[in-house]
A and B are shown apart, each in its own frame.
Chain A
Amino acid sequence: MNDFTTIPDYGLSWLEASGDHSDIVLSTRVRLARNLQGHAFGTRARVNDRQAVLANFKEVFARSESLMKGTLLEMKDLGPRARRILLERRLVTSDLIGKTEGDLPAGTAVHFSHRDPLSVMVNEEDHLRVQSLLSGLRIQESWEIVDSLDEELGQELPYAFHHEFGFLTSCPTNVGSGLRASVFMHLPGLVLTKEIGKVLQGLTQVGLTFRGLYGEGSDVVGNFFQVSNQTTLGKSEEDLVDHLDKIVRQVIQYEMQARQVLLRDARGVTEDKIWRAYGLLRYARALSFEELMNLLSGVRLGLSLKLLPGLRVYTLNKMMIFTQSAHLEQAVGKDLGSEERDSHRAAYVRRILSSEGDVITNS
């Protein structure tokens, strides 16, 4: 099963560019980490712990009307490429599918809700990771969706909960609420005006943290940043969510100011950068993923500043996902070497830009 037809919107609704500030904020994710009593978790979980947790989850799944309407995918039933596609769509993590094809961890699965962009990873670092991934800036909404599924699961499953420390997690940095809310932002204005260092430093001072495109430890590519809460213990979920929302809105204001500075003080250079990026995407014959991300950053900025009329944010979001290796391989139906990948990637970009990315040039 490689087409994911049973998952709502194929798990891609977060690309639709529909939420607030969707040109700057690509998506919002809220996740809760939960563990079950009586079983080891994380690296200490043995195969029988993992199987028991999955069996427990499946029992709830079979009893609950709302869960049953959704889709449960066990990683062992998917081919390696299908698993990588889920990873590239940001629906599972590399912990869930293993670092290489050979080391798929036992008992890993993901459940997708039938309605909301809401899912549960089973046997990740924690027994359960309940998460929602929405388009644009919608932290509160994302939290509410997650909260209500967590309530339902909590009535059926014996969560590991400590009267003082709260929800117990594999990593002590998640304990308490187990909540991590993160917002995926595009901040080229702050990078180009060299204000980004100050902003990122400011984030760490107010209890937030930032990461690159693919979460913990990953590089910042294409001026994309994931901003999230650093601490999980000692504040209510609502306070964590409100605080992140407030600070992210401030960062958006700074980013918009930086963009105005660019237009005022360096309009020529900025326009040139944007059009060069568009030109390269439109005509290049080979693109590495990193180069593509950097060019998309320029084009996204141009779209946001209304310098590239006719382009849509959705088109750019889609390009980010469908140009990753497993998606390219899926499209051609075979494994690809890195050179082949780069040329298929460039071909996909040219095709999509000529069909839905024509820009009116009125120089």
Chain B
Amino acid sequence: MPDNLCDNCGSKAATVNLTQIENNEMFSYHLCEDCAAQKGLEATTEPPASPLPDFLAQIGDEPREEETSNSECSFCGLAFTVFRETGRLGCPHCYETFESHLRRLLRRVHGGTKHVGKIYLPPDPTVSEIEKRMEALRRKLNRAVEAEDFERAAELRDRIRSLEPV
């Protein structure tokens, strides 16, 4: 039986993963949508967030002047007006405080807002953070192999291996 079929009916494709813990034992089920519905589960894809705020941010809708000129970072106390004057932020939290203004600025300066380079792994990483980092490392590895830089490739392979589940 191919492993992408429903564990319950065995005929339809499994799209829902169900993990249950009973008497300290963990059970994993892969179910099709119909069987999942019978068990009272719904597919857990989140409804798409309203695209409007993002869209407005992207076309550079200027926020009302008073809203930004009074705002101040709650962590380091940097006032928006000071940031405007010096062009320097005061702490990591400022990136959230002044996010909408920053998005426009970053788009103007860098042509976009999405980092595509190295992925930093925090001390307690999530699975998706690990996957993103491995993907970035694999890209690097391919490049090193293409350039026949085998010393570098070996180093990168070690970095990837250290992230693989044992």
Contacts and interface: CB of A to CB of B under 8 A. Distances in A.
Interface in B83-106: 86-92, 95, 102, 105-106
B106 A172 contact: yes
B76 interface: yes
B64 interface: no
A166 B119 CA distance: 8
| Minimum-distance CB pairs A-B, first 5 | A166-B115, A44-B90, A160-B92, A161-B120, A233-B110
B53 interface: no
B90 A41 contact: yes
Given A151-B159, A161-B120, A172-B109, 17 more contacts: A39-B91, A41-B90, A42-B88, A43-B86, A43-B88, A44-B76, A44-B91, A154-B120, A162-B92, A165-B102, A165-B115, A171-B89, A173-B87, A173-B109, A231-B110, A233-B106, A233-B109
Given A44-B78, A151-B159, A233 B112 contact: yes
B75 interface: yes
Interface of B: 75-78, 86-92, 95, 102, 105-106, 109-123, 136, 139-140, 143, 152, 155, 159
Contact of A234 (B102, B112, B143): B112
10 contacts: A125-B88, A148-B155, A162-B95, A167-B120, A168-B89, A168-B92, A173-B109, A175-B95, A234-B114, A237-B117
B91 A176 contact: no
A43 B110 contact: no
Contact of A236 (B77, B117, B120): B117
Contact of B110 (A125, A154, A171, A176): A176
A142 interface: no
A24 to B, nearest CB: 23
Chain A CB count within 10 A is highest, among B86, B87, B116, B159, for B116
Contact of B117 (A125, A159, A166, A169): A166
Interface in A229-271: 231-238, 240
A144 B152 CA distance: 8
B133 to A, nearest CB: 11
Interface string A151-185: 10010001111101111111111011101000000
B76 A40 contact: yes
A341 to B, nearest CB: 34
A164 B91 CA distance: 16
A269 B32 CA distance: 84
Contact of B123 (A158, A173, A233): A158
Contact of B90 (A43, A148, A161, A237): A43
A176 B106 CA distance: 10
Contacts of A162: 92, 95, 115
B117 to A, nearest CB: 4
Interface in A122-158: 125, 144, 147-148, 150-151, 154, 158
**Interface residue tally on A, bucketed by range:** 35 or more
Contact of A177 (B78, B118, B140): B118
Chain A CB count within 10 A is highest, among B112, B120, B152, for B120
A35 interface: yes
Nearest to B115: A166
A169 B86 CA distance: 14
Nearest to A46: B76
B136 to A, nearest CB: 8
A37 interface: yes
A237 B118 contact: yes
Interface in A1-41: 35, 37, 39-41
B113 A165 contact: yes
B40 to A, nearest CB: 33
A168 B159 CA distance: 23
Contact of B91 (A40, A147, A171, A172): A40
A293 to B, nearest CB: 30
A175 B76 contact: no
Nearest to B162: A155
A283 to B, nearest CB: 48
A362 B120 CA distance: 61
A171 B87 CA distance: 6
